Chains A and B, each alone.
Chain A
């Protein structure tokens, strides 16, 4: 593995390998006094974020630090990006400074792919070797989120294969939804999307999933339900009449959550808009695995860094 740009680059064996590494890392760190492994000593990991983030940026930083990598955070605000530097120039600058891995989040879909292509060309020219990890590109992909969701489902349900997982809400603007649909399908799960028709992307019928017309009809047969945040910051125009109407149609209220089977898991990638897509009581219920997702996020990102940086370059 040289870069991690899309979950579609992972076959079932590669994805399972990453999840197994994540489990083993969790196991190796369990209950120890010193949460520090020497594995990535001398490697430099730079996060380059053009969008705001709490979970993803911090968990990549923690993941790197727990494995002794040197981690540096660059955000668009407060860097030369605000002076007008291009993504390419910023990326190559970080490579030239010795970054072994650049973790990029960008509002434009495909940004991580472009950066990886520039990095590969730079490597041919100068011999520097920089891996690129996609930490969210526009409405396209967020592979480590899908991996940590799969890790959480494995923990809670024992396996992903053969399970039925619902993804509910703003699919159109959600890179989390896209990455999850493809990764969960690769791992053998059955995925059902439920969303207002205005919030389904064009071409969704080609995705390896089914679109369910009504949430209440799907809930009783789901092993897990993933609630998506309504991404108001990406909406130019009105996609539904009002927040209240959205909550009534697609929010996971307590009454709705009661329709789920006993063993069902409630996931949310965060940040949550309590009362909009998920009721506070549901978010804090024992069936919710939202903080478990965050915990797994660190281990999954450690696994990704391990697979990209620990071994010899391919």
Chain B
């Protein structure tokens, strides 16, 4: 979840490199929207639902839905699923706050669900989100859209729609900023400050 990359704005870090500007973010969302239209065109009767993974997956899903409506005509339903209660690393940190789970009107039984998140890394968040999703219904199929894929997968999970592939090292951090939650749109990359000895299990974006 993007939360874990918050709170590093203190300025003690080396300067961040901008991977995507605000205009790039808008263009990337438009491209993913086109791909969603293309890839789901064969099954219009099924209906498409975009489900964001909080925090930043939710506004991304909303923007994607608006873009799909603009380019393709029909606006997909939007919701969100909080994976926290299904995480496999809950016991490694103090209890985390929960986020919104909103199942769209009519549910998503037999619909095509596109899960939306900002950064894909280990795949563990997506795994938890898939479990959370299946508690609320049985989609016909589930696909995954991410703004940034930074590698370092720990589970057999891949994205169907990728905004940008960014090869990273584990000690780098990816921060996605969206105007809904931050001051602007951007994707930043920075090398994280040397972590306190042995604190590697809570590395940045470890759970993305």
Chain A residues in the interface with B (C-beta under 8 A): 1, 17, 20-21, 24-25, 27-28, 30-34, 36-39, 67, 306-308, 310-312, 314
Contact between A24 and B100 (Cβ–Cβ < 8 Å)? yes
Bound-state Cα–Cα, A190 to B103, Å: 36
Given contacts A32-B135, A310-B91, A311-B93, contact A37 B86 (CB under 8 A): yes
User: In chain B between 74 and 122, which residues have their CB closer than 8 angstroms to a CB of chain A?
Assistant: 82, 85-86, 90-103, 107
Using CB atoms, name the residue of chain A closest to B102.
Answer: A27
Partner of A25, one of B95, B98, B103, B131: B98
**How many chain-B residues does the 8 Å CB contact rule pick out?**
23
Q: Which of A17, A308, A312 contacts B93 (CB 8 A)?
A: A312
**Does B85 lie within 8 Å of A311, measured CB to CB?**
no
Pick from B91, B94, B98, B107: contact of A24, CB below 8 A. Answer: B98
Cβ < 8 Å to A, chain B residues 118-154: 131-132, 135-137
Identity of the chain A residue whose Cβ is nearest the Cβ of B99 in the assembled complex? A24
Cα–Cα distance between A37 and B132 once the two chains are bound (Å): 9
Minimal beta-carbon separation of B133 from chain A (angstroms): 11
Q: With A24-B99, A27-B101, A31-B103 given, is the CB distance from A312 to B92 under 8 Å? A: yes
Contact partner of A34 among B98, B99, B100, B135, CB < 8 A? B135
Contact A27 B91 (CB under 8 A): no
Residues of B within 8 A of A311 (CB): 90-91, 93-96
Q: A24-B100, A32-B136 are in contact. Are A38 and B91 (CB under 8 A)?
A: no
The CA-CA distance from A39 to B135 in the complex, in Å, is 13
Chain A to chain B contacts (Cβ below 8 Å), 15 pairs: A27-B102, A28-B132, A30-B103, A31-B107, A33-B135, A36-B135, A37-B85, A38-B85, A39-B85, A39-B86, A39-B90, A307-B95, A310-B95, A312-B92, A312-B94
Q: Is the CB of B82 within 8 A of A28?
A: yes
State the Cβ distance, B163 to closest chain A Cβ, in Å: 28
- Shortest Cβ distance from B110 into chain A, in angstroms? 14
B residues with a Cβ closer than 8 A to A are 82, 85-86, 90-103, 107, 131-132, 135-137
Quote the shortest CB–CB distance from A130 to chain B (angstroms).
16
The prevalent SS among residues of A at the interface is loop
Q: A28-B85, A32-B136, A37-B85 are in contact. Are A312 and B91 (CB under 8 A)?
A: yes
Q: Compute how far the CA of A110 lies from the CA of B208 in the bound complex, rounded to whole angstroms.
A: 45
Please give the distance in Å from A37's CB to the nearest CB on chain B: 5
Which residue of chain B lies nearest to A309 when distances are taken between CB atoms in the complex? B95
Q: Which residues of B contact A39 (CB under 8 A)?
A: 85-86, 90
The answer for the CA separation of A306 and B93 in the assembled complex, in Å, is 13
Q: A32-B136, A34-B135 are in contact. Are A314 and B94 (CB under 8 A)?
A: yes
Q: Which residue of B lies closest to A314 (CB)?
A: B94
Q: Is the CB of A306 within 8 A of B82?
A: no
7 closest A-B pairs by CB? A311-B95, A24-B98, A311-B94, A28-B101, A39-B85, A37-B85, A310-B95
Are B101's CB and A17's CB within 8 A? no
20 extra interface residue pairs, beta carbon distance < 8 Å, beyond A306-B95, A306-B98, A314-B94: A20-B97, A20-B98, A24-B98, A25-B98, A27-B101, A28-B132, A31-B103, A31-B107, A32-B136, A37-B85, A37-B86, A39-B85, A67-B85, A307-B95, A308-B95, A310-B90, A311-B93, A311-B94, A312-B92, A312-B94
